[in-house]
Structure 1
């Protein structure tokens, strides 16, 4: 056996050792919080009062991610004018990977950009369109754009409370994810506050200054809007409004 062969054997063994230890070091993420026994997806986050949220100062919102036996939930609450405008105009996209990889396999967006808002009818009256859910990567989900209430199991809603905070709720059916029988998957989730992309996100929603609460969205009738000024500024021409913001989380499901 040559000197070169003698060197190759320990180097190869060292490589196997390092790979093995690296795999062992990749511990699964922490377990999620268990969702309340009774959850109604209506944009009112009061169902979650006993589940302390995480406040993210960078993204100017509080969020909770939890699950029960049937669904994975994202709950968001924000009072920031720019974040509220982004969510109501361009939506939040939740992307999931159930194989322990930082890679987007399944995605759910609500509302689909430009799908929600008030539309003026021919008789000069207004009607509210709550928006649609857009999905990607889920087998057997057809069409990939579905209403907020549907027979598939996806649910989503947002609503302004009396203090003009925006509550947002999304439920994703676990049965549509590639989970192990014991649901012990190491899961990565990406939460993205989508940026406003010009006319594609046209519409937009403001809380009523007179009532302080509008289901999903509302026009403020010329009063101060959620964009933070009287002329509805903070539109797609604002570079901060067109920029998407996202973060990754790693976890296992609660049992």
Structure 2
């Protein structure tokens, strides 16, 4: 069997396993759960044993919502490169509301996006992908993964908060309010976002009820198009500033905002 055929077979096997695992899960998490013991908000799924409560095709990601007596937790993992690029370059936001499809009286929280760092992260990620999965390039893969995750961590030093009384709209990742957010790539190239927020900040958005509606949105990237007119010909053209590693074949998908709604009742 040739190396090309072997690599293709391995890739197809992985994709079949991913597709099968996604098909077994509901699109919306059906039950309330407690978080794993000793949970750390670090962008890793070790404590979750890499298992999730749902897979939503709208955002092409696995996710789980959980709670204990003090906090609400969310973990989102995507193996789709387009979704990962949007999460890093445009943002992902969790909104908590007392009514479905209505953002009034709700609150929204998500990692602040540093658009200027998108190209650096994308280039580092593409270098990692060149080595990922190749046994003879494991050291290069590990090294490049460290580089890309350092770039992600460095770029996401703040959290955006809206609709929470007494908290500024922008707070640092390490804050006194106890709101935590972390995002990392794993060695398969999948991107995970972990998040935690104290329940006391959500009471108003929940309508002081034990259950609430939530919206999870992955924002589409802006193309940063600029109008340029030639002095010699007078012809005007649109120049799109999209990093080369973002590609152009999936430009529409990159610019497309996707989301879904669900309902969650706090676990006792």
Question: Normalised by the shorter chain, which TM-score bucket?
Answer: 0.5 to 0.7
**Matched length:** 190
Distance verdict in 2 for CA 1:146–1:116, change over 3 Å = farther
Cα distance in 1 between the residues matched to 2:117 and 2:73: 21
- Larger Cα-atom Rg: 1
User: What is the aligned partner in structure 2 of residue 79 from structure 1?
Assistant: 79
Cα distance in 2 between the residues matched to 1:146 and 1:115: 19
Cα distance in 2 between the residues matched to 1:249 and 1:75: 15
Confirm or deny: 8 A CA contact 2:203 2:209 kept in the other structure: no
Confirm or deny: 8 A CA contact 1:100 1:187 kept in the other structure: yes
Cα distance in 2 between the residues matched to 1:81 and 1:244: 15
Asked whether 1:68 is paired with 2:68, we answer: yes
Alpha-carbon distance, 1:162 to partner:
1.0
Distance verdict in 2 for CA 1:188–1:113, change over 3 Å = farther
Asked whether 1:249 is paired with 2:234, we answer: no
Cα distance in 2 between the residues matched to 1:187 and 1:234: 38
User: What is the aligned partner in structure 1 of residue 32 from structure 2?
Assistant: 32
3-state SS of paired residue (2:155): strand
TM-score of the superposed pair, with normalisation by structure 1: 0.65
The within-5 A match list for 1:1-255 is 31-49=31-49, 52-97=52-97, 99-104=98-103, 105-112=106-113, 114=115, 128-142=154-168, 144-178=169-203, 184-199=209-224, 231-234=244-247, 238-255=251-268
Alpha-carbon distance, 1:199 to partner:
4.5
RMSD of aligned residue pairs (Cα, Å) = 3.2
Cα distance in 2 between the residues matched to 1:52 and 1:89: 24
Structure 2 unaligned blocks of 5 or more: 1-28, 122-149, 226-241
Cα distance in 2 between the residues matched to 1:252 and 1:53: 14
Cα distance in 1 between the residues matched to 2:82 and 2:247: 7
Distance verdict in 2 for CA 1:137–1:179, change over 3 Å = closer
Alpha-carbon distance, 1:137 to partner:
0.3
Alpha-carbon distance, 1:94 to partner:
0.5
Cα distance in 1 between the residues matched to 2:109 and 2:85: 19
Structure 1 unaligned blocks of 5 or more: 1-28, 120-125, 201-226
3-state SS of paired residue (2:182): strand
